[in-house]
Chains A and B, each alone.
Chain A
C-alpha cells in the first residue's frame, strides 16, 4: 500500500540555520506530493505541491522542495529558519497507486526554532 515516511518526528534548528525536513514515499507510480504546515490549534495550510513538470517546487514563506523520483523523496528545505517557522509539518501524497483526491499523510515532523 502507498505510504509516506518522515524521518525525524522532531527537528530543532537555530534561527537563521538551514531547515531540512525529510520525506520519502512508497509508490510504483509517481504521485502528487504535498507539504502542509500546521500551527498549534489550527488546520492545515498548503506550503507547496508537486504535480508534474519542474521537479524543484517553490512554496510560500521561502520553502522549497525537490521531487527525486530515483530516491522516491520530496524533502523540504528553507535556507534560513525564522522563529515563525516553528510548527508541525506534514508530507502527503495523492494519486500514484490510489486516486488523486484521496490524500495519504505522513506522521509529521515538529520543527522547533531556537533563538
Chain B
C-alpha cells in the first residue's frame, strides 16, 4: 500500500506567477484535502475534493483552486502568487466509509517559496 506522495518537494516562484502542486492519494482513498502551513504556524485547511468535486473550503481566496482526477490524484493551483503564499503545502487523503469515522493521512509536503 503506497502512502500519500507530493511533488515537487521544493519550489521557488516569483511574485505574480502561477504554480501547480501535485498529490497522489493513498491507494483506495477517494478524498484529498489540502493544507497551507505558513512558517511558525499550524496547518490551515484550504479545501477538500471528493469524487472530483470540491467538498468544503477554508478561508482562502479564489486564486487558490484545485482539481481532482478520476484516479483521485489532485492538483492545487495558485494564481497571482504573493509573498505571503510562501509556505509548506500539505496534502492529505482519506476514504469516507459511510460511518463518518475515517481519518486523513498526510504527505510530506511541498515547500513553496515566493520571491
Establish whether residues A44 and B103, one from each chain, have CB atoms under 8 Å apart when the complex forms.
Answer: no
Number of A-B residue pairs with CB-CB distance less than 8 Å in the complex they form: 67
Q: Which of A44, A102, A108 contacts B45 (CB 8 A)?
A: A102
> Taking A43-B109, A95-B101, A101-B103 as contacts, is the C-beta distance between A90 and B43 under 8 angstroms?
yes
Q: Point out which of A36, A99, A101 has the most chain B C-beta atoms below 10 A from its C-beta.
A: A101
Complex Cα gap A115–B104 (Å):
36
Contact status B103-A90, CB under 8 Å: no
Task: Tell me whether B101 and A51 are in contact (CB under 8 A).
Answer: yes
Cα–Cα distance between A106 and B42 once the two chains are bound (Å)? 6
Interface: B88 (CB within 8 A):
yes
> B104: which of A42, A90, A94 is its contact (CB, 8 Å)?
A94
Q: Which residue of A lies closest to B88 (CB)?
A: A43
Given the interface pairs A101-B31, A105-B42, A107-B41, the reply to whether A41 lies near B111 with Cβ below 8 Å is yes
Contact residues of B with A, CB < 8 Å?
31, 33, 35, 40-45, 48, 56, 88, 90, 92, 94, 96, 100-104, 106-109, 111
13 additional A-B residue pairs with CB within 8 Å, beyond A94-B104, A101-B104, A107-B42: A32-B101, A42-B108, A44-B90, A51-B101, A95-B101, A100-B96, A100-B103, A101-B92, A101-B94, A102-B33, A102-B45, A103-B92, A105-B44
